[in-house]
Amino acid sequence: MTASLPLSGYLRADGRKGIRNAILVVYLVECAHFVASKIVAGFDGEDVELVGFPGCYPNEYAAQMMAKLCTHPNVGGVLVVSLGCESFDKVRLADAVSASHRPVKTLVIQTAGGTSSTVQQGRDWVREVMAEVNAVERIPMGMDELIVGTICGGSDGTSGISGNPAAGKAFDLLVAQGAACIFEETGELIGCEEIMAERAVTPELGQLLRESVLKAERYYATLGYGSFAAGNAAGGLSSIEEKSLGAYVKSGDSQISGLIKPGDVPPTGGLYLMDVVPDGEVRFGFPNIADSAEIVEMIASGAHLTLFVTGRGSVVGSAISPVIKICANPDTYRSLREDMDINAGDIIEGVKTIDEVGQQIHDLIVAVANGAQTKSEALGHREFILTYKTFEPVGPSCLPRVG
């Protein structure tokens, strides 16, 4: 029975399986960033990755996100690097990692003897636990244990015609096999709220989907800008609703099973919308300052890997979970092919159909889940952003299939 499972993963104590086995080095304030990066620099070519939080002031969202990220199934062990006087609760974080049965160690620069001494102690600890972390074997894993996120960035007028519909097709194939798929971002669904609400599994969920987009519209109106960069216009997009309609199709045609917020792990297979716009009055600025912050939110919600559809041409990858880059624009693909995993520009040029590229994306997801490196992984990209936000927990109507 298990021999027929299509994937393999690292079994964790909570029952989830990871497709990577990274050791994270986590700085808890910008003041510890350099020291943490020096520790990571000692492990070139090994899966030791830098993540962190820059602020000195406390934030419950950031605390919860970091705990979710450090106990993500793709993570095998965690080294926490603290300056010592920042407000981030390092004991709470280390306790969460320890409770997940992963090796964890906290170094405090102010009591560890400064930069050089902390770097040495950090590298020694990582080297020591690496054998233990690497001893975990891959075991068979089903498609129904897989979580895949999707975002789009550097969008242009091709994104909604080729890359996003093909990603949507791949999502349909995954959902049909029991996988959980997450799409975002409510600020880029403005104008799509009515057609999206009709796809919800219950009318109550449909209403919540509608309200999440209206919240995003209010939030961005206060900020004075939509979720729209100058390059979107150069690429032929003229308004936020035009960008939104193109982005919306990456959700595919499946029913929408639930509404989650960053850090909420989908409880079953199916298609989920992630509401990334903070609750309450506008605080701390833009919901997500760049694409990498959205990718990190997908990962905090358990995404094993993320599909990234781009038209203008983003080159980013991510810490923790691999990024598969789908290039919607054939001209961009030709100039950035070393960074792109899939050329959906073939659809624009009439070389391939949306279904064919959707299948190609699906097959690459299976290969990457089994250990194949994506382009950004092989190039060494490990981007990461976590900043200040505020969220209220989701209510029971957001996840109607639970309980």
Partner 1 sequence: MNGPFLLLNAADNVLVARSRVEHGTAVALDAGSVCVDRVIPLAHKIARQDIAEGSRILKYGMPIGLATEDIAAGQHVHIHNMRSAYTPTHALQDADGVSAGVSK
In angstroms, the CA 241 to CA 397 distance is 27
Region of 38-46, 74-82, 187-195, 334-342 interacting with partner 1 (CB under 8 A)? 187-195
Binding letters toward partner 1, positions 226-255, x by CB under 8 A: x-xxxx-xxxx-xxxxx--xx---------
Q: Rounded CA gap, 191 and 266, in Å?
A: 26
Residue with Cβ nearer partner 1 (116 or 238):
238
Instruction: Give 351's contacts (C-beta < 8 A, 6+ positions apart).
Output: none
Using CB under 8 A, pick the residue from 14, 60, 144, 349 that binds partner 1.
Answer: 349
CB 101 to partner 1: min, Å: 47
Nearer to partner 1, 19 or 309 (CB): 309
Distance between CA atoms of residues 46 and 355, nearest Å = 37
Euclidean distance between CA atoms 222 and 226, whole angstroms:
10
Task: Tell me the closest approach of the beta carbon of residue 345 to partner 1, in angstroms.
Answer: 9
Is residue 164 involved in binding partner 1 (CB under 8 A)? Answer: no
Cα-Cα-Cα-Cα torsion 294, 297, 298, 299, nearest 10 degrees, comes to 120
**Residue 183 touching partner 1 (CB under 8 A):** no
- The residue assigned the tokens 């789908």 is 326
Q: Is 393 exposed, middle or buried (0-12, 13-18, 19+ CB in 10 A)?
A: exposed
Q: Which of 89, 204, 331, 356 binds partner 1 (CB under 8 A)?
A: 331
Q: How far is the CB of 361 from partner 1 (least distance, A)?
A: 20
Residues 306-325 that bind partner 1 (CB under 8 A): 311
Residue 225 is a binding residue for partner 1 (CB under 8 A): yes
Alpha carbon distance, N-terminus to C-terminus of the chain = 29
186 scored as a contact of partner 1 (CB under 8 A)? no
Four-residue CA torsion sign, 14, 179, 383, 216: negative
Q: Which residues bind partner 1 (CB under 8 A)?
A: 156-158, 160-161, 190-192, 195, 217, 220-221, 224-226, 228-231, 233-236, 238-242, 245-246, 311, 329-331, 348-350
